[in-house]
Amino acid sequence: MRVLKDLLKDGRFKFGFIVVCILLFLAILSFFSPYDPTRWNIFPRDLPPSTQHILGTNSKGQDVFWEATFAIRNSLIISLIAALISRIIAIIVGLVAGYSGGRVDRVLMSISDSFLILPLLPILILISSLIKKHLSLVSLGLLLSIFGWPWDARLIRAQVLSLREREFTYTSVLSGSSTLSLVIKEYFPYILPLVFSTIINNMGWSIGLEVTLSILGLSNLAIPTLGTTLHWAINYQAMLLGIWWWLLTPIVISVFLFISLYLLSVSISEYSDPRTRVQRIGLAKE
Amino acid sequence: MEIVKVDKLKAYYILDIYGRKQIIQAVNGVTLEIRENEIYGIAGESGCGKSTLVKTLYGMIEPPLTLIDGNIFYRINGDLVSIFSLPNDRLQKLKWSFISYIPQGSMNVLNPVIKIIDSFWDFIGSHIEEKEKSSVEKSLNDFFNMLGLPSKILNAYPHQLSGGMRQRVIVALATFLNPKILIADEPTTALDVVAQRSVLQLLKSIQSLLNNTIILVTHDMGVHATISDRIGIMYAGNIIEEAETEELYENPLHPYTQYLIKSLPKIGDKSYKVSAPGTPPSLANPPSGCKFHPRCNYSMKECTENVPKFVEVKQNHKVACFLYSKEVDS
Amino acid sequence: MIDNIILRVRDLTKIFTLGNIFSRIKIVAVNKVSFDINQGEVFTLAGESGSGKTTVARIILGFHEPTSGKIEYMGKDITKLGKNDRKLIRREMQAIFQNPFESFNPLRKVSNYLYETLQNFNLIKGEMDEIVDNALKAVGLSLEEVKDKYPGEFSGGQLQRISVARALITSPNLLIADEPVSMIDASLRMSIINLFKELKEKKGVSIIYITHDLATAYYVSDRIAIMFRGEIVEEGSIEKVLMDPKHPYTMVLKESIPEADPKKRWAKQISILTTEEEEFLLKGCKFAKRCPYKMEKCEKEEVPTLDIDGRKVKCFLYV
């Protein structure tokens, strides 16, 4: 995988990649957890880290380490669902609006802009306080995806608009290509890098929102995620009582997750930027 | 008297893209002397290194462009000074007041959201004292009128002017502080013939008014015939022929120069014209010996092995070709 | 000799409206332009930038809709065509553009366009590789040299040749070349121009050659029309118009070509004191402000087109 090899030469990508791999490993580890994450009082409460419990136990009587593996897994699942679905909506809207222009463009962008100006947090608070008992991972992911597409739709539309004016669009039309095949063959190589880096950005955004909602108590608190762990820790006055291992675990994991997602996003988007790709094309042979 | 002297200059682009290295030998041992009060033309195909050469003349040697060898001298106040020996702030002060550079595509350097006169203050503001600003504005108006440019365009926005007019504005701005040397890199490439004529006429009248030196870089031999006094032909990083304009067009010695001149069509002449065969060599991987030999009809065995030395074979006419001199470049 | 007219343009007009609700200007980019193209001829549409020549080409190719006027190809009106009809016409009318590096997507292999043209127009008779190879050989290249390479790996001249090869795959009757050599080094232009000559002489392809360089136009064309700010000011055979120009603008264009002869330097200075926008909005003759022979009526009345000496001239000097 030449692409991976090249990317690993970039220090930022290396760091982000290693951290994400570790977190993925921990997430997968959750499938082998000997304890049920929804059960309370399995262990004595508030035990500091020891050889038996690497990260100690929390006030609910659960092992912090194994809870954390579930938390990572669930947070990642929510953000992946949110990111993937909102990408699909953004790509379709952006492509159609950008290429068609005229009325279709204006209608789509009005819809997109309306979503953009909606005050996100109050609406999410409202919706989730109404249905929080029924919020599963998937439904939270879907909810976030409805609000995650407008920004990137406009980004993709902007790219399509500029591509439409370039001469190779005309060459492609003269070669007899239909609109759909033109967009897929000519424009996708430019749009996919955008999609890629915005997926990662979007994942960061969704995790952030999920943490916010959970801390406010507006998510399904039975499911362990980074946010709900924080919520419980705050609720049980972990900081005051000195149960730092419970509080710090989700914080440190979140910080590392955000940083590595950012580094991945930056290095991947630089690598896949058409301008640097053009530079690399000739070099591959020499 | 020379005002710019280049001595065995070598400047390469050293690239490192995700671990893969590439060295582009853009300027490969150039020795030149450019005199006061002349228009010196540098001709050659795209990719021969001429833009890099003039960038180094202007002192713009920044990574990935690296100085490998050689020296560049300016004659400042009568003495030849190496530009690499000057401290950075002294070199900065020289820019626009001693030597000016108009890069390729410069008609697009004007800030599109401010008026021309405000762009002007951006460029030149640091060279002018605060108290002199109003008198400077007046002399700017006079300067434009003298050059045949309507002074009302100073209050226009760039998009209101055509490409040719913008280019002329840039030329005027670059010469306002009366620099001794003006470097113009492909000033007319994107322009149609009429706009091109107006820009070239402007350059010529500036030269005769201010008696400065203009270094004109372009691939168009028609343009050189029209305004250059002396011409240096560049190929793959080296100057391969240099002569006064009339001499060069009457007796082009190097086979490449001959191609350059004969390939231009003329009105009234329907005879068959050919362009130079093949394509310019890659500067990352240049051919051995004389770099033109793969495309040359007269190439001999020594052309593939050695590089011919750039020597004077007639008065004021230098060439680097084994057809005229067997001297080898070290 | 019976002239076989394949393209007829009549009173073609295109008006662009610029500005917003508060201040609108109408720029008449193309003003009642009419000309014919014969089978097997090279017709030059010449003029400086902003003359409207590229707009005319775009309208003929179907990329813009005209404000008014008619274009007939082989007797059929092609100004307003549906998608399928337009595709059929594209098979017979192809084009190449000014910037060889932009004509192809820098992220795609160049040969893809050649194969796609074959597939989209259902022209595959035999081995695709062979057909593409022959198309490239006709322009002096080969599939071996071109396959698996991206646009950045070629020179401008090579890319333009590949553009021509792609345009010729459908064996078109009419090729529109919009400033095909302006972005190529002056010394390399002839190889492309000679290609056009060959196309006309050996294959009978008609070519509309759009340029501002009268020297190459003289070399390769049969007839020429000079455009200025949207109007044709002189039209006729290349010998007549360029060796004995009648319109003052044609004279300026001809003189402005820098010749590769140091003894022939420009005698007069020209001065351009007007902006493009101003010139478009002038009443009467648009060239009036720059014309050394200007009369009072030039700036007021509409200029007639006259038949003088076997060509058409739009100027009051000859009334």
Residue from C206, C311, C319 nearest C250 by CA: C311
The Cα–Cα gap between C221 and C214 comes to: 10
In C, which residues are within 8 Å of A179 by CB distance? none
Query: What are the domain boundaries of chain C?
Result: 5-318
Quick check: B45 contacting C, CB < 8 Å? yes
Give helix then strand counts, H and E, for chain A: 14, 0
Interface test with A, best of C104, C116, C123, C175 (most A CBs within 10 A): C116
Nearest CA in chain A to C164: A171
The Cα–Cα gap between B294 and C84 comes to: 49
**Domain covering C5-318 in this structure, CATH number:** 3.40.50.300
Question: Tens digits of per-residue pLDDT, B104-147?
Answer: 877 778 888 888 888 888 877 777 776 677 788 888 888 888 88
In A, which residues are within 8 Å of B20 by CB distance? 280, 283, 286
State the smallest CA–CA distance between residue A200 and chain B in angstroms: 22
Quick check: C304 contacting A, CB < 8 Å? no
Quick check: C101 contacting B, CB < 8 Å? no
Q: What percent of chain A has pLDDT over 90?
A: 21
Is the pLDDT score of C68 beyond 50? yes
Q: Do B18 and A286 touch (CB under 8 A)?
A: no
Q: For the residues C188-208, what does the mean pLDDT come to?
A: 90
| Residue showing tokens 């365009």 | B153
The Cα–Cα gap between C235 and C233 comes to: 7
Count other C-beta atoms under 10 Å from residue C73's C-beta. Answer: 20
HSE, CB side, 13 Å, CA atoms: give it for residue C130: 4
Mean pLDDT, chain C, as a whole number? 86
Quick check: A6 contacting B, CB < 8 Å? yes
What is the pTM for the complete model shown? 0.82
Q: For the residues A243-258, what does the mean pLDDT come to?
A: 89
Sequence-ordered list of residues with C-beta below 8 angstroms from that of A195, at least 6 positions apart, any chain: A87, A90, A91, A152, A156
Specify the DSSP class assigned to residue C78. Answer: -
Strand, coil or helix: C20: coil
Instruction: Provide the token pair at A15.
Output: 């760091």
What pLDDT is attached to residue C3?
A: 64
The Cα–Cα gap between B223 and B261 comes to: 11
Does residue C156 contact residue C101 with C-beta atoms inside 8 Å? Answer: yes
| DSSP H/E element including B212 | none
What pLDDT is attached to residue B300?
A: 87
Residues B275, B280, B281, CA angle at the centre, nearest 5°?
A: 150
Q: Do B22 and A279 touch (CB under 8 A)?
A: no
Q: Do B17 and A9 touch (CB under 8 A)?
A: no
Quick check: C95 contacting A, CB < 8 Å? yes
Backbone angles phi, psi at C300, to 5 degrees: -120, -45
Q: Do C253 and B194 touch (CB under 8 A)?
A: yes
Quick check: A162 contacting C, CB < 8 Å? no
Quick check: A277 contacting B, CB < 8 Å? no
What pLDDT is attached to residue A20?
A: 92
Nearest CA in chain A to B17: A280
What pLDDT is attached to residue A62?
A: 85
Computed on alpha carbons and rounded to an integer, the radius of gyration of chain C in Å comes to 21
What part of B 2-21 touches A (C-beta under 8 Å)? Answer: 17-20
Does residue A69 contact residue A29 with C-beta atoms inside 8 Å? Answer: yes
Is the pLDDT score of A106 beyond 60? yes
Q: Which of C48, C188, C263 sits opposite B275 (nearest CB)?
A: C188
What pLDDT is attached to residue A111?
A: 92
First and final CA of chain B: distance in angstroms?
Answer: 28
Q: How far is CA A70 from CA A63, A226, A229, B279, in A?
A: 11, 9, 10, 62
Q: Do C108 and A281 touch (CB under 8 A)?
A: no
Is the pLDDT score of A40 beyond 70? yes
CA B20: distance to chain centroid?
31
Strand, coil or helix: A168: helix
Between chain A and chain B, the number of residue pairs with CB atoms below 8 A apart is 18
Residue from A116, A100, A99, A97 nearest A108 by CA: A97
Q: For the residues C239-245, what does the mean pLDDT come to?
A: 90
What pLDDT is attached to residue C1?
A: 41
What part of B 47-86 touches C (C-beta under 8 Å)? Answer: 47
Q: For the residues A153-160, what does the mean pLDDT come to?
A: 91
In A, which residues are within 8 Å of B64 by CB distance? none
In A, which residues are within 8 Å of C110 by CB distance? none
Q: Which of B196, B198, B267 sits opposite C218 (nearest CB)?
A: B267
Torsion (CA) B102, B105, B106, B109 in degrees, nearest 10: -150
pLDDT-derived band at B254 (thresholds 50, 70, 90) equals very high
Is the pLDDT score of A110 beyond 90? yes
Torsion (CA) C112, C117, C122, C125 in degrees, nearest 10: -70
pLDDT-derived band at A286 (thresholds 50, 70, 90) equals very low
The Cα–Cα gap between A128 and A134 comes to: 9
Mean pLDDT, chain A, as a whole number? 86
Strand, coil or helix: A71: helix
Sequence-ordered list of residues with C-beta below 8 angstroms from that of C66, at least 6 positions apart, any chain: C12, C13, C14, C30, C59, C79
More confident site: B128 or C117: C117
Quick check: B208 contacting C, CB < 8 Å? no
Question: Tens digits of per-residue pLDDT, B196-233?
Answer: 888 888 888 889 888 999 999 998 888 898 899 999 99
Is the pLDDT score of A119 beyond 90? no
Sequence-ordered list of residues with C-beta below 8 angstroms from that of B268, at least 6 positions apart, any chain: C218, C243
Quick check: C215 contacting B, CB < 8 Å? yes
Q: Which of C61, C97, C113 sits opposite A175 (nearest CB)?
A: C113
Does residue B181 contact residue B36 with C-beta atoms inside 8 Å? Answer: no
Instruction: Provide the token pair at B18.
Output: 């995700």
Quick check: A283 contacting C, CB < 8 Å? no
Count other C-beta atoms under 10 Å from residue B122's C-beta. Answer: 12
Quick check: A159 contacting C, CB < 8 Å? no
Instruction: Provide the token pair at B56.
Output: 């180094």
Residue from B194, B220, B170, B163 nearest B42 by CA: B220
Least confident of A134-143, A156-165, C33-42, C100-109: A134-143
More confident site: B91 or A132: B91
Does residue C136 contact residue C220 with C-beta atoms inside 8 Å? Answer: no
Question: Tens digits of per-residue pLDDT, A183-231?
Answer: 888 898 888 888 888 888 888 888 888 888 888 877 778 888 888 888 8
State the smallest CA–CA distance between residue A6 and chain B in angstroms: 6
What pLDDT is attached to residue B121?
A: 83
Least confident of B2-16, C46-60, C255-269: C255-269
Is the pLDDT score of A283 beyond 90? no
Question: Tens digits of per-residue pLDDT, B135-184?
Answer: 888 888 888 888 878 878 888 888 888 778 888 888 888 888 888 899 99
Whether the bond into B64 is cis, omega within 30 of 0: yes
Q: Do C186 and B261 touch (CB under 8 A)?
A: no
Is the pLDDT score of C2 beyond 60? no
Q: Do C190 and B275 touch (CB under 8 A)?
A: yes
State the smallest CA–CA distance between residue C9 and chain A in angstroms: 21
Residue from A126, A92, A124 nearest A111 by CA: A92
